[in-house]
Amino acid sequence: MNFTGTSWLKFGLFTVGLGQSFVFVLVPPLARDLGLSEVQTSSIFALSAMAWALTSAFWGRASDRYGRRNIAILGLIGYAISLIALITPLFLAEKNILNLTLLFPALILGRLINGLLGSATRPASFAYVADITTKENRTVKFARMESSFLVGTVVGPLVGGFLFLITKETPFYLFSFLSMIAAIGIYFNLEPSDRSYKKHKHKSKIKWYSQTIWPFLSVAAVLSLCQASLLQSIGFYITDLFGYLDDLPILISMTFTLLAISTIASQYFFTDAFPINNFNLLLFGTLTLIFSYFTMAFLQSISIYYLSVILIGIGFGMTRPALASSLSIAQSPENQGTAAGYLGSVIPIGHMTTPFIAMPIYALNPSYLYYFSSILCITLILFIITYPEIKKIR
């Protein structure tokens, strides 16, 4: 395995993580200060997520035919362009150069570039790793790829907040520049993984409803909803239940940090230091999520809340690499990109459906949402232990 080449892939995912978390922190308040409503601002990200879901499978298939390296580079370039296209309208509107009536469509276009092109990097990167690894060590390699992205999501707001003090545009330009560096590094250092797409020019025979695909996508969709509903409700939950405490923004930021760090630590511990097979990772990871969500709903104290968040991170740290690896192992070499693309298309589903499914439940009672997530995970446990295709991953 070309360590240098895969290191550039990890760095590419790291740069995507930098901007992915930072734009959620900075863009909404900037857009609101310039006159956009909360609904308009959230719709900017919702449309991008929809574009990501619709194009990810396409880019996965494209990587099967045209090469992992080429598609990964295209995704990083698209992501870099999207950062510039997102901050530029805000900068121009703030300077009264861009008419405010054009700001909303300009921001939609800028973020849409990320959904349409930026979605190419992840499926191509994971398919490349699947090409060059054995089934035995694929889980740990996938976990390291996931961790690269997660580290970026932690570092992004921290570094971006410091750079923001220079100018509002600085972090966007720097993160865009780093993404272009990653694209150049991949181009010169990543040896083409051509065994699949050169030998198998035929159209992929698998679809999302194939027996080796849909069970894993179903699990991923439910987990996506559970995770997205937590992320989108954290700010409301802390404000509603612990509003009497000081420094609520710090408490909210600490939640995201603990969640990301515990996920990264869990991935390393259970896939690298003390590896567990994929079936048990899925099983015990989901059981951990059941306990965590139920505890968060039933015992409403700030200390129990943070403990639950850490356990949720541990649960997702176990399930995410196991799910990606299991799906990959179930496919033939020529279909690795397509399978990774299908999985990538499911990841945004939670963020797309949370406003319509999870938030109305939260509006009834904050605890109900986490009871609901716990029930969803109980359903997953029954599915995992009974469905034949998933049981095979033992």
Q: Is the pLDDT of residue 41 over 50?
A: yes
Sketch out the chain's domains with CATH numbers.
3-189 (1.20.1250.20), 214-391 (1.20.1250.20)
Q: Three-state DSSP class for 300? A: coil
Model pLDDT, residue 284: 95
pLDDT at 357 > cutoff 90: no
Give the integer Cα–Cα distance in Å for 100 and 96. 8
Give the pLDDT score at 179: 96
Phi, psi of 360 (to 5 degrees): -60, -35
Residue 250 has pLDDT above 80, yes or no: no
The position carrying tokens 């992929």 is 204
The pTM of this model reads 0.83
Question: What residues contact 363, with CB distance under 8 A and at least 6 apart?
Answer: none
| More confident call, 235 vs 72 | 72
pLDDT band at 258 (very low <50, low <70, confident <90, very high): confident
pLDDT score, position 33: 81
pLDDT at 1: 43
Which pLDDT value is given to residue 105?
A: 93
The model's confidence at residue 194, banded by pLDDT at 50, 70 and 90, is low
Please state the rounded mean pLDDT for residues 365-391: 91
Summary mean pLDDT of the chain: 86
The answer to whether residue 232 scores a pLDDT higher than 80 is no
The predicted structure's pLDDT at residue 196 = 47
Provide the pLDDT for residue 176.
95
Average pLDDT over residues 115-126: 93
18 or 39, greater pLDDT: 18
Report pLDDT for 363: 86
The predicted model gives 8-24 an average pLDDT of 88
Can you tell me whether residue 288 is helix, strand or coil?
helix
Crossing angle between the packed helical segments 214-242 and 349-364, to the nearest 10 degrees: 40
| pLDDT at residue 288, as a whole number | 97
Contact residues for 105 (Cβ-Cβ < 8 A; gap 6+)? none
Residue with the bigger pLDDT between 13 and 158: it is: 13
pLDDT category at 211 given cuts 50, 70, 90 is confident
pLDDT score recorded for residue 377: 96
Share of the chain above pLDDT 70, in %: 95
Answer for the pair 307, 380: CB distance below 8 angstroms, yes or no. no
* Residue 2 confidence (pLDDT): 44
Name the H helices within 35-97.
38-66, 68-94
pLDDT in tens, 263-287: 989 988 988 888 888 899 999 999 9
Choice among 3-17, 68-82, 243-257 with the minimum mean pLDDT = 243-257
Q: What is the mean pLDDT of residues 122-145?
A: 89
pLDDT above 90 (res 394): no
pLDDT in the model for residue 193? 66
Mean pLDDT of 124-134: 90
